[in-house]
Amino acid sequence: MGKVEEFYDWGYTLKLKGETILAKGVNKTKRLSPSSRLILSGVGSLSSEVFWKIKELQGELILERGQLELYYFGRPSNELVLSQLRAYLDVEVCSQIATSILRAASLNKLKVLEVLSVPREILEDVRKKVRTLLKTLSGTSLSRLMGVEAAISKVYYSALRSIIPEEYGFTARTRRPPEDCFSAALSFGNMILYKVIVRQLIKRGLDPRIGFLHIPFRDRPSLALDVAEEFRQFVVDVAVTPLFTSKSMSLNKDFEYKDGGVFLSRSGRAKTSKVVYHRLNLKTTAGKVLDLIDCQVKKLVDFLNGEVDHYEPFTIESYLRQ
């Protein structure tokens, strides 16, 4: 895959200038290479000469508008997608990737419980249970892996319950629909994370539908769900939980109760979006958290391309050691 170049502006135009593309918008002007993967965000136009030059030099063009509506033209990344598909169809490779993701996600859950100051006796009990479950992972089928993941998540959310005020009604993690206020906020925060990850996957040339831990199903972004396993606690849980422990979420103003479920109101969505996006844009020693996600996707690409021997998932512990 070629170099990735991005351009964002409103009312932009793209014209061919010699062997380069001149992108000109209301606020900025930039020269782009037609052999690169070009990601254009906003509203604009491009000449047919630009399109044909991109095709001639085997570049790629992604037009991004509105809520992540992406259109693709010319994809030399097809070879990468084929490698992704081969890895999925190889039972051993698929299991290795899925197991490593699940193991990392479990360790991240334990670390976040420490950060959120879950009582020590509860934390120790969770550690024992999680370590016992992790011992069962070797040589496990995908269906069994998802069973282990569900068991670890149940233990994790049971521990989180100890710090969430009772008034929010959180007794267990519920979905489709969420049945309590905390689950509603987590689900909304996770949706933000999924959209961010889908964009990073497409940016790097991967097919979001071909996952390894989450089995592909129709147009579900299974690979985005896989990567989210590594980042969900680090991004969403750490950002959202303090809204509840500090009782910043109003039962009357920030939630709507309908159709047998609990959903965020407009003000609830605004509060949750604010803390999740703040977390995603938080600057770390390795750049923004968004950059960490992109770096992790690049690691997966390198593995699928055969540039490294194994896929190394993201763990909070390794991040803190940097």
pLDDT in tens, 233-264: 999 999 999 999 999 999 999 999 998 899 99
Higher pLDDT, 142 or 239: 239
| Residue 171, pLDDT above cutoff 60 | yes
- Residue-level pLDDT at 149: 87
Position 298 confidence tier, pLDDT thresholds 50, 70, 90: very high
Considering 1-5, 42-46, 84-88, 134-138, the range whose residues carry the highest mean pLDDT is 84-88
Cα distance between residue 261 and residue 248, in whole Å? 21
When pLDDT is averaged across residues 68-86 and rounded to a whole number, the result is 67
Higher pLDDT, 48 or 21: 21
- Residue-level pLDDT at 76: 54
Average predicted confidence (pLDDT) for the chain: 88
Cα distance between residue 249 and residue 272, in whole Å? 9
Cα distance between residue 304 and residue 88, in whole Å? 10
| Residue 137, pLDDT above cutoff 70 | yes
When pLDDT is averaged across residues 143-166 and rounded to a whole number, the result is 91
Q: What is the DSSP string of 219-288?
A: T--HHHHHHHHHHHIIIIIHHHHHHHHTT-S-TTTSEEEETTEEEE-HHHHHHHHHHHHHHHT-EETTEE
| Residue 287, pLDDT above cutoff 90 | no
- Residue-level pLDDT at 321: 75
Asked whether the CA dihedral 111, 114, 119, 124 is positive or negative, the reply is positive
Phi, psi of 288 (to 5 degrees): -70, 160
- Residue-level pLDDT at 75: 54
- Residue-level pLDDT at 103: 93
Residues of the chain with pLDDT > 90, as a percent, come to 57
When pLDDT is averaged across residues 106-122 and rounded to a whole number, the result is 93
- Residue-level pLDDT at 139: 60
Cα distance between residue 231 and residue 21, in whole Å? 36
- Residue-level pLDDT at 207: 87
Q: Residue 62: beta bridge partners?
A: 39, 72
Domains of the chain: 4-76 (3.100.10.20), 79-320 (1.20.120.920)
Distance, first Cα to last Cα, the chain? 28
| Residue 67, pLDDT above cutoff 70 | no
- Residue-level pLDDT at 253: 96
| Residue 65, pLDDT above cutoff 80 | no
Asked whether the CA dihedral 47, 48, 52, 58 is positive or negative, the reply is positive
Position 2 confidence tier, pLDDT thresholds 50, 70, 90: low
Higher pLDDT, 174 or 55: 174
Q: What is the pTM of this model?
A: 0.81
| Residue 320, pLDDT above cutoff 60 | yes
- Residue-level pLDDT at 240: 97
